[in-house]
Structure 1
Amino acid sequence: MVERIAIIGAGPSGMAQLRAFEAARESGAEIPEIVCFEKQADWGGQWNYSWRTGIDQHGEPVHSSMYRNLWSNGPKEALEFADYSFDQHFGKPISSYPPRAVLWDYIAGRVEASDVRRFVRFNTIVRWTQETADGFTVASENLADGETTTEHFDRIIVASGHFSFPNVPDFEGLENFTGEVMHAHDFRGAERLAGKRVLMIGASYSAEDIGMQAHKMGAELVTLSYRSHAMGFDWPAGVEELPLAVGFDGSTVTFRDGSVREVDAVVLCTGYLHKYPFLPDSLALSSPNNLYPDGLYKGTVWQGNPNLFYVGAQDQWFTFNMFDAQAWFVRDVILGRIALPDAEDRAADIRHWLAEYAALPDHDSEVVYQANYIRDLIERTDYPMFDLDEVVRIFQSWQHDKQVDIARYRDKTYPSVMTGTMAAVHHTPWLEEMDDSIERYLTPVGTASDSRDDAIDVGTRERGVSAAARVTRPTSRR
């Protein structure tokens, strides 16, 4: 009998898994029956922006943490698909740091071109999973009509991500704070912070980026509060770093070093939890956000039950192309192309990677570590190998650019590792660009808005067609 595979989530990780199976089918392989469960009305996961926060229209927790005016905070050349380039998608060079709508169009364009949408049940949430003697029983609910379905699957691939359940610590006196408090998960735009004194609690990418967005949109003062180590960038005037906030009294905040600030709004950039409410404890990954979660062989295969897989469960320097490497590896295990070692050997391999991870001295070595991990996966499959060392160099250059000028690093450009094409310089510096739309981004300033070559009709997205598909480009792919 044909195996049945459940993929939970149709964000970038789930989309990579769908594309991996479709690539095998296109090359003549027989693939399993696939059902992908996606609670949202469209795919894209975090990149599927919604104005909603808290609870969605179905009474479910809102999945996406995406905010309206996000731009990529890493060079697109470091996340490019090896089998679907930005050149292929857009038909022309674009800048190295696109806004969210452009990246969403790119990741969606690849899977739309390969017709894997037929595998996805949208508006459908997995409620519970139970191990059985011959696989798993999965109970799901169609959120549109409330119908519940229980069915059998031989294997499960968890691709739901781990940036949806916010970690929300408490601070003394915060319950009496007179301003606005939100977690980064519920942040949707920085315009509301114009003229305000804003406190960002956290010292990682969310705090850095939302803080700079607030500065860009006219916040009076942005204070970034760190627990262990300051980010240490050369912040522009109006942005500062202080040690951890330790107490609130009305609008007054006291910091660990004794500093005091008056604050109008607080954004908790305090990370996310690995949380899988659709899985029993025996199957649910429980891990801090790190580069190699314990319990996953090759970062994907659940040690306690090797018929359960995770894609995209680790912290990320690489993103889209790492999800691809994982998805191709998982696919080939399922198709029998890769034989798994026994439990003892898998455990030894996990210990090896964990020991290497524990010895890493700095961020540069973390990038190399993840590149080596991806290389290890790709060498076992037919996913196109790409110059991982060059991607590492791009990441290292990116970190240098941020140290030199945190407000303008997005104006830098890099060549594509896949095609060699040099990125275009965006027509407007990021700090001055207030229109994040795909239309403005892809239409050169000063040209007619209805240009057939460059204008993008985002409305085509609602008809299930990539907006960028209107641009003539090569159609060959793996």
Structure 2
Amino acid sequence: MVRLASFTFVVLPLAALGYEQHQEPFSALPDAKTPSKSIAIVGAGSGGLAILKTIFDLPEDVRDGWEVVLYEQRRDVGGVWLPDPPGPLPRPPKLPESPLYPLLHTNTPHPTMTYPGFTYPPFTPLFPSHEYVQQYHADYAEHYNLTEYLRFHHKILAANWVGDSVGGKWDLEIEVQQPHGPPPPRISRRSFDHLIVANGHNHYPHVPHWDGTEGWLANTPPDTPKREIVHSIYYRDPARYANRTIVIVGAGASGRDAALQVGQTARVAYQSLTPTNEPTPGAKVVPKPRIAYFTNASVVFEDGTSLDDVDSLILGTGYHFHIPFLSPPHSSVLSVDPHTTFNSTSAPSLITNLRYIFPTHKHIFSLAPGIPPTALAFVGLPVLVANCPSDIAQSLLIAHALANSSVLPNHAQMLQELVEREDKLRAAGLDPYYVGHRLVAESESDQDYQDGVVQYLKDVGAIPEDGKKFVEPWRRLGRGKARLLARAWQRAVQLGVDREWLEGAQTEEEWADVMERLVEWQEAYEEEHGIPEFEDQSVWYL
């Protein structure tokens, strides 16, 4: 009765707004009325495509009768690599669809970022622009016939678990957008056995709070640009900051790119850093410590210095781990509490402190009470990884667990493993609830994490033992030597020999050979000459 009343409360306002309600038909089993297992995937970025493809790599007799549907709220695949639609960029508080900016390139060589067995096309630049990466994902979906399972312009509004720790169903509420304007969206309701969340984590910007910002913003001096504090999700064109004084906050990927690009156009650019960070190599910036507070006239830093001529702040301060369709007021599955006192063993539900979603097994399966572990899985939570291969490693474990839940240890064992991981982080001087899903500890590196996930499947007999690591040596080389390769590639471009280096590279082995030869070429050069200071060095790739 309580659930029926809640359902009625939701439906009436939607109907009043002109939404069309309907029950979406089974879309992946045209000849079957009832699937033997139904799986909903959210997000068509690298994680969503990885799990979709991996499920269909299972033996046909294992997945016989399964229904699999992937919902994507945007117009195409690619996730963070898909640009905004044409038109003006939204202004705060409305968020753009993507944080992508036109000058975005990869910061690691593309062979290290690929799905296993599927390379970029011949002559793709070693550090490609975003257009290449989005097209790569589109090519992957087309090559493996994944497109028929994709539902674009479908936004998950709410996902509620109706059941207990033994079994149940997901009740999904889905907004089906009209891609070309009116009529208004319609609402679908669907039930699924399993929910796989692969919607990324670069959607909801983290904006720090400093005392005095309101007064500083309200007191722009006459005849100067209106002061602003803007998160990097809104950053697009460095030319916008020409002849302005800028403070860039942060030294992560977006902070580094803003420093490299805006530093070329600004009157002067400062980079506000934590004590453990260094200024971005190659960027024309003046380093400053962390911001302490604002006055009506100045930005004041923790060392007591201040700047009174700042026009704009660009915040490269990262993103929250937040999934609205699992969280209040839409759902009670994922609690949101930045100051939670719960931990992985005491959490009454799945919790996000906006840095860390816990408790989970291997950053994948929910260990929350009241939901079976295989009912809710995440692809892509780890940070500082090569996404496509990492997503495949995670997807292998998910797909085999969906086929046979006994592949996983029991709940108590998985929780104990999580506690041990968190203890290792503490022993290394790291707070697991602050570090979250960032793979920064020696005990949990990017490649070792992937190897461990896949080796577990070999150990339990789910996949054959072949005596090999999941992460190939050439991927480790490319990741470990990424900065050296970036310098090599920049030198090749400046010398006009970049296409010569790519000649004949098509297979993984051939791309690996390109990287190995570039490493040798650049190491010999730097041994003879020292690390060169190229003009405009590191403009896009570090």
TM above 0.5: yes
Paired position in structure 2 for 1:472: none
Equivalent runs, 1:92-103 vs 2, <5 Å: 92-103=122-133
RCO higher in structure (CA 8 A, sep ≥6): 1
Paired position in structure 1 for 2:102: 68
Paired position in structure 1 for 2:186: 147
Give the alignment partner of residue 201 of structure 2, picking from 159, 162, 168: 162
Give the alignment partner of residue 294 of structure 2, picking from 236, 244, 248: 248
Q: TM-score scaled by structure 1?
A: 0.77
What does the per-residue CA deviation read over 1:275-305, in whole Å, with 9 as the maximum and x for residues that have no partner?
A: 1111134345514546xx5411122110122
Equivalent runs, 1:63-142 vs 2, <5 Å: 63-86=97-120, 90=121, 92-133=122-163, 134-142=168-176
Give the alignment partner of residue 372 of structure 1, picking from 448, 463, 467: 448
Equivalent runs, 1:243-282 vs 2, <5 Å: 243-249=289-295, 252-261=298-307, 262-279=309-326, 280-282=331-333
Paired position in structure 1 for 2:480: 396
Equivalent runs, 1:28-427 vs 2, <5 Å: 29-30=63-64, 32-50=66-84, 53-54=89-90, 61-86=95-120, 90=121, 92-133=122-163, 134-144=168-178, 145-175=184-214, 176-177=216-217, 178=220, 179-216=227-264, 218-236=265-283, 238-249=284-295, 252-261=298-307, 262-279=309-326, 280-283=331-334, 285-287=351-353, 289=355, 294-304=358-368, 305=371, 306=373, 307-336=375-404, 339-360=407-428, 366=442, 369-379=445-455, 380=457, 386-398=470-482, 418-421=508-511, 422=514
What does the per-residue CA deviation read over 1:94-146, in whole Å, with 9 as the maximum and x for residues that have no partner?
A: 33211111111112211111121111221111111111132211111112242
Q: Aligned-pair distance for 1:44?
A: 1.4
Q: Aligned-pair distance for 1:416?
A: 9.7
Moved more, 195-204 or 408-417: 408-417
Query: Given that residues 38 and 123 in structure 1 are in contact (C-alpha distance below 8 angstroms), is that contact kept between their aligned partners in structure 2?
Result: yes
Using the alignment, how far apart are the partners of 1:44 and 1:328 within structure 2? 20
Q: Which ranges of structure 1 fall in alignment gaps of 5 or more residues?
A: 437-478
Q: Aligned-pair distance for 1:67?
A: 1.2
Change (3 A) 1:93 1:225: same
Q: SS state of the match for residue 383, structure 2? A: coil
What does the per-residue CA deviation read over 1:313-364, in whole Å, with 9 as the maximum and x for residues that have no partner?
A: 1222321110111122211111227622211011112123333344457987
Q: Which amino acid aligns with 2:479?
A: F
Q: SS state of the match for residue 81, structure 1? A: coil
Using the alignment, how far apart are the partners of 1:141 and 1:103 within structure 2? 28
Query: Given that residues 289 and 314 in structure 1 are in contact (C-alpha distance below 8 angstroms), is that contact kept between their aligned partners in structure 2?
Result: no
Q: Which amino acid aligns with 1:30?
A: D
Q: Which ranges of structure 2 fall in alignment gaps of 5 or more residues?
A: 1-34, 179-183, 221-226, 335-349, 431-438, 519-533
Q: SS state of the match for residue 278, structure 1? A: helix
Paired position in structure 1 for 2:341: none
Q: CA RMSD in A?
A: 3.7
Change (3 A) 1:319 1:287: farther
Query: Given that residues 230 and 243 in structure 1 are in contact (C-alpha distance below 8 angstroms), is that contact kept between their aligned partners in structure 2?
Result: no
Change (3 A) 1:17 1:367: same
Change (3 A) 1:385 1:256: same
Q: Aligned-pair distance for 1:25?
A: 6.2
Equivalent runs, 1:462-477 vs 2, <5 Å: none
Q: Which amino acid aligns with 1:255?
A: F
Q: Give the percent of matched residue pairs that are identical in Structure 1 and Structure 2.
A: 20
Using the alignment, how far apart are the partners of 2:134 and 2:211 within structure 1? 39
What does the per-residue CA deviation read over 1:231-284, in whole Å, with 9 as the maximum and x for residues that have no partner?
A: 245444x31211112233456322111223322221111111111111134345
The structure whose Rg is larger is 2
Q: SS state of the match for residue 21, structure 1? A: helix
Q: SS state of the match for residue 481, structure 2? A: helix
Change (3 A) 1:214 1:104: same
Q: Aligned-pair distance for 1:28?
A: 8.0
Change (3 A) 1:232 1:213: closer
Change (3 A) 1:150 1:229: same
Using the alignment, how far apart are the partners of 1:353 and 1:202 within structure 2? 28
Q: Which amino acid aligns with 2:129?
A: P
Query: Given that residues 362 and 418 in structure 2 are in contact (C-alpha distance below 8 angstroms), is that contact kept between their aligned partners in structure 1?
Result: yes
Change (3 A) 1:367 1:103: farther
Q: Aligned-pair distance for 1:174?
A: 2.1
Query: Given that residues 116 and 389 in structure 2 are in contact (C-alpha distance below 8 angstroms), is that contact kept between their aligned partners in structure 1?
Result: yes
Aligned length: 422
Paired position in structure 2 for 1:12: 46
Q: TM-score scaled by structure 2?
A: 0.69
Using the alignment, how far apart are the partners of 1:10 and 1:55 within structure 2? 25
Using the alignment, how far apart are the partners of 1:212 and 1:47 within structure 2? 20
What does the per-residue CA deviation read over 1:187-218, in whole Å, with 9 as the maximum and x for residues that have no partner?
A: 122221223221111232221111112124x2
Using the alignment, how far apart are the partners of 1:98 and 1:430 within structure 2? 20
Query: Given that residues 247 and 314 in structure 2 are in contact (C-alpha distance below 8 angstroms), is that contact kept between their aligned partners in structure 1?
Result: yes
